[in-house]
Amino acid sequence: MTTNSETWGSRVGLVLAMAGNAVGFGNFLRFPVQAVQNGGGAFIIPYLVSFLLMGIPLLFIEWSSGRFGGKFGHHSTPFILQSMDKKWIWKYVGVFGIFSNIAIAAYYCYIESWTMSYVFHSVVGTFDGMNQHAVAAFFSNYLDVTTSTTGIPYEALVFFVFCIALNTWILSRGLSSGVEKVAKIGVPLLIVFGIFLAVKGITLKAGVNGAIHDGTLGLNFLWTPDFTSLANPKVWLAAAGQIFFTLSVGMGSIQCYASYLKKKDDVALNAMSAGWMNEFVEIVLGSAVIIPIAIGYLGIDRVVELTGIGGLGLGFRTMPFLFEQWGPILSAVAGVSFFGLLFFAGITSSLAMGTPGMGFMMDEFKWSRRKSAISFGIVVMILGLPTIFFFNQGVFDEYDYWAGT
């Protein structure tokens, strides 16, 4: 057996990095929509059943297999799986853990760059005075190549390139000095931002700052159970799918992170800590931000209509307008908080997506971490450019469908 050249610097950093891998856009943009569309409060029953019966056992398996492979100095799924069974087939099964992460990162980093852009525009006051249609049009124009005389969406491209460069730089700094440091800063800030927005959302009062309903109406709507939905197999399937989506199981990133565990690290305790932290962020914070604020200002019928276009549309086309109702200063703070928490949720996940591919390059080709990080960044940038230039042709949606499923 060989000794890992790199390990996690601390248990706190390990748990936060693993939780950051799981916490992503889906916690705040996908989960509330899934709950609204699948029985409200009743959705939490199949959701928690899926977490306990599938999520936790799969976390244990992936953490354990990752640490086992790490004992032999392997940090990528092809070699981790092959270390458990010498049959050649397992090495090639593990390749899916590399391809899936790279494919997802190609469009995931594009969404991540949107959050960076929206933080910037929240700070400079771009959304000041905009109505809901103007905010929605801003998002469409941001993505639409036809708004540029050259056919190149320059702002979207600049933020995307900067986002890739930032991910590459952090990954090149190493596990403890790069990924772990970002997790120690990003995940706590994400939670603080989420708590601030959740409190603001829940305490909305009808008639104040243009609100037409109390914020608690949104929580009641979201969590009032429709128990008849429990008889629908699609609800249980949606809950199971959300667990796979939110925990990032089956992707290979957990095994790669776990391959850097120290010998004395407790797999069960750390896996449970990271898993339940993700559930707290998703269930408590994810359900208390978008839906209560949106229903407070738009009403139930309008929000149900908006959830039909998915969480991305609700988040980027609607939330800046709602924050504007709080006045110029508080709207800027809310915009930075909301899109800031999405950014930290995104970057802690995209860093995890880079780890399997980098681990493979270091395992197979003996490349340095810096060279592997740069190679990963270049590949993701090349694969991601079509989502920018051909967004209107549905390339982004195709990436999301094929890579996401």
Query: What is the per-residue pLDDT for 150?
Result: 67
40 bridge partner residues: 225
In angstroms, rounded to a whole number, what is the distance separating the alpha carbons of residues 324 and 130?
Answer: 8
Residue type, 155: E
- Residue 2 lies inside a defined structural domain of this protein: no
Ranges of the chain whose pLDDT falls below 50: 1-4
Query: What is the per-residue pLDDT for 149?
Result: 64
241, with CB counted inside 10 A (0-12, 13-18, 19+), is middle
- Which one, of 369, 257, 341, lies nearest residue 21 by Cα? 257
- Residue 239 lies inside a defined structural domain of this protein: yes
In angstroms, rounded to a whole number, what is the distance separating the alpha carbons of residues 160 and 110?
Answer: 6
Query: What is the per-residue pLDDT for 392?
Result: 85
Query: What is the per-residue pLDDT for 87?
Result: 84
Residue type, 167: N
- Residue 262 lies inside a defined structural domain of this protein: no
- Which one, of 101, 164, 76, 6, lies nearest residue 358 by Cα? 76
In angstroms, rounded to a whole number, what is the distance separating the alpha carbons of residues 25 and 33?
Answer: 12
- Residue 87 lies inside a defined structural domain of this protein: no
Q: What is the DSSP letter of 5?
A: S
- Which one, of 376, 371, 374, lies nearest residue 353 by Cα? 376
Query: What is the per-residue pLDDT for 91?
Result: 87
* Integer CA distances (angstroms), 118 to 85, 104, 182, in order: 47, 21, 20
In angstroms, rounded to a whole number, what is the distance separating the alpha carbons of residues 263 and 2?
Answer: 12
Q: Which domain holds residue 159?
A: 11-57+103-248+267-404
The pTM assigned to this predicted structure is 0.94
- Residue 76 lies inside a defined structural domain of this protein: no
In angstroms, rounded to a whole number, what is the distance separating the alpha carbons of residues 73 and 354?
Answer: 18
- Residue 153 lies inside a defined structural domain of this protein: yes
Helix (H) or strand (E) holding 211: none
Query: What is the per-residue pLDDT for 39?
Result: 86
In angstroms, rounded to a whole number, what is the distance separating the alpha carbons of residues 290 and 146?
Answer: 30
In angstroms, rounded to a whole number, what is the distance separating the alpha carbons of residues 145 and 137?
Answer: 13
- Residue 77 lies inside a defined structural domain of this protein: no
* Integer CA distances (angstroms), 324 to 5, 107, 369, in order: 50, 29, 44
In angstroms, rounded to a whole number, what is the distance separating the alpha carbons of residues 51 and 247?
Answer: 9
Q: Are 113 and 156 in contact (CB under 8 A)?
A: yes
| Greatest C-alpha distance within the chain | 67
In angstroms, rounded to a whole number, what is the distance separating the alpha carbons of residues 232 and 138?
Answer: 39
In angstroms, rounded to a whole number, what is the distance separating the alpha carbons of residues 1 and 4?
Answer: 10
Q: Which residues contact 391 (CB under 8 A, 6 or more apart)?
A: 143, 144, 145, 153
Q: How many domains does the chain have?
A: 1
Residue type, 22: A
Query: What is the per-residue pLDDT for 225?
Result: 86
